[in-house]
């Protein structure tokens, strides 16, 4: 079956499985903030209408300065991008024809970008038998043989987080052998507050590149907004290959309002942790395996039945999970679920309970 590469494509999923779509469904396949965009954004989006007849500043000076101040950095350490995907491809372009290491299962766009720019890719797997733990020693051994390492923290699709000390060990090893460490922090805003992001390491490590997305936490995937953080010399090289005006003026006009939403982010984190507690408790009771996630999505596997059968059962009940056929190492044996609204999560649990009654 020609599975879609990403989530958030409900009609395509229904078509592929021969199920009539009546537009009443619960989409658990796209892992954006279930609380939706900040309410204030609608008002400011109308105000941003005035930007339609203007070209954006090709250097995005004001927007870049805003991001830098927000992160406690200087402007020269920040590059605005058209979502996280543009950032991934800009990085891969810096290593044309060289060697990359990707830790699987993870976001498929790292490998796709490597293929576009002719990087040879080596893969290592998270330790599935140990709750998807990070294989630090194996990665340290491989770093010497590659030019760039792609990591996802928190990782998509497992929701797990590489320990800070492991990150430092990788960076130190990378400095020794001139290997760049790329860390995708697209879902960093969903993590509990005690887990820090990695921006504070930029001044210490010249071989660190961070990728950020604002589309996930603010539930604005249509607007395509992200940024990169790195040493000024790396930002200069990345910017040199970026197409002109890759980020539109409507998006940059909204940035000042997005960066004032601390209460919205804190509220999302608190709400998410409450939902995860309910979800994991009930999934455990029903005998499902789930990844030890800390964010707004998780992997699930029924150890008593085939995942394809569960997938189709959920579709017939108007629930769309994310397949895992294009996640190396998972090969369709797991399903990924976003954490949705309280009512949607409750409906999912009730549906899984009915499924369990059929299989036990």
CATH value at residue 292: 3.90.1150.10
Q: Which of 258, 292, 315 is the last residue of a domain?
A: 258
316 & 346 share domain: yes
Extract the tokens encoding 23.
Answer: 């537009």
Q: Which of 229, 258, 287 is the last residue of a domain?
A: 258
241 & 289 share domain: no
Residue 340 domain boundaries: 10-30+263-359
Q: What's the distance, CA 61 to chain centroid?
A: 26
Per-residue pLDDT of the chain (360 residues; tens, 9 = 90+): 455 454 445 666 665 555 666 667 788 988 999 999 998 888 887 777 777 878 888 889 999 999 999 999 999 999 999 999 999 999 999 999 999 999 999 999 999 999 999 999 999 999 888 889 999 999 999 999 999 999 999 999 999 999 999 999 999 999 999 999 999 999 999 999 999 999 999 999 999 999 999 999 999 888 889 999 999 999 999 999 999 999 988 888 888 888 888 899 999 999 999 999 999 999 999 999 999 999 999 999 998 888 889 988 998 898 889 888 888 888 888 999 999 999 999 999 999 999 988 776
What is the total count of domains within the chain? 2
94 & 220 share domain: yes
Query: Does 48 reside within a domain?
Result: no
64 & 21 share domain: no
Distance separating alpha carbons of residues 193 and 138, to the nearest angstrom: 29
Query: Does 273 reside within a domain?
Result: yes
76 & 208 share domain: yes
CATH value at residue 152: 3.40.640.10
Distance separating alpha carbons of residues 270 and 273, to the nearest angstrom: 5
Of 41, 20, 359, give the one whose Cα is nearest residue 215: 41
163 & 242 share domain: yes
Q: Which of 199, 228, 258 is the last residue of a domain?
A: 258
42, 220 in Cβ contact below 8 A? no
Of 258, 360, 339, 352, give the one whose Cα is nearest residue 296: 339
Query: Does 291 reside within a domain?
Result: yes
Distance separating alpha carbons of residues 75 and 175, to the nearest angstrom: 24
252 & 267 share domain: no
110 & 245 share domain: yes
145 & 228 share domain: yes
pTM across the whole model? 0.91
Query: Does 38 reside within a domain?
Result: no
């Amino acid at each position: 079956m020609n599975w879609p590469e990403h989530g958030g494509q409900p009609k395509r999923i229904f078509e592929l499985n021969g199920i009539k779509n009546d537009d009443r469904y619960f989409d658990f396949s796209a892992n954006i903030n279930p609380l939706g965009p900040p309410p204030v954004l609608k008002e400011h989006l109308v105000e941003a209408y005035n930007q339609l007849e203007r070209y954006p500043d090709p250097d995005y000076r004001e927007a870049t300065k805003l991001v830098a101040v927000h992160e406690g950095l200087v402007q020269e350490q920040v590059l605005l991008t058209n979502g996280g995907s543009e950032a991934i491809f800009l990085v891969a372009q810096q290593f044309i024809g060289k060697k990359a290491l990707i830790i699987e299962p993870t976001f498929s766009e790292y490998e796709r970008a490597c293929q576009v720019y002719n990087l040879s890719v080596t893969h290592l797997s998270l330790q599935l038998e140990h709750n998807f733990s990070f294989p630090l020693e194996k990665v340290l051994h491989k770093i010497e043989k590659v030019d760039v390492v792609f990591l996802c923290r928190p990782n998509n699709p497992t929701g797990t987080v590489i320990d800070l000390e492991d990150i430092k060990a990788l960076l130190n090893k990378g400095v020794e052998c001139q290997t760049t460490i790329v860390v995708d922090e697209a879902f960093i805003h969903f993590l509990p507050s005690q887990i820090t992001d990695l921006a504070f390491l930029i001044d210490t490590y010249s071989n660190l590149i961070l990728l950020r997305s604002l589309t996930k936490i603010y539930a604005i995937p249509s607007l395509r907004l992200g940024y990169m953080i790195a040493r000024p010399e790396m930002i200069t090289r990345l910017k040199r290959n970026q197409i002109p005006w890759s980020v539109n003026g409507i998006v940059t006009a909204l940035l000042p309002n997005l960066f004032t939403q601390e209460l919205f982010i804190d509220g999302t984190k608190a709400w998410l942790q409450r939902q995860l507690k309910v979800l994991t408790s009930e999934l455990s009771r029903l005998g499902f395996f789930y990844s030890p996630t800390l964010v707004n999505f998780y992997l699930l596997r029924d150890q008593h039945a085939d995942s394809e059968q569960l997938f189709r059962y959920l579709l017939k009940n108007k629930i769309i999970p994310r397949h895992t056929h294009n996640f190396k190492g998972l090969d369709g044996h797991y399903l990924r679920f976003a954490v949705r609204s309280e009512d949607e999560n409750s409906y999912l649990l009730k549906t899984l309970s009915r499924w369990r009654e059929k299989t036990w």
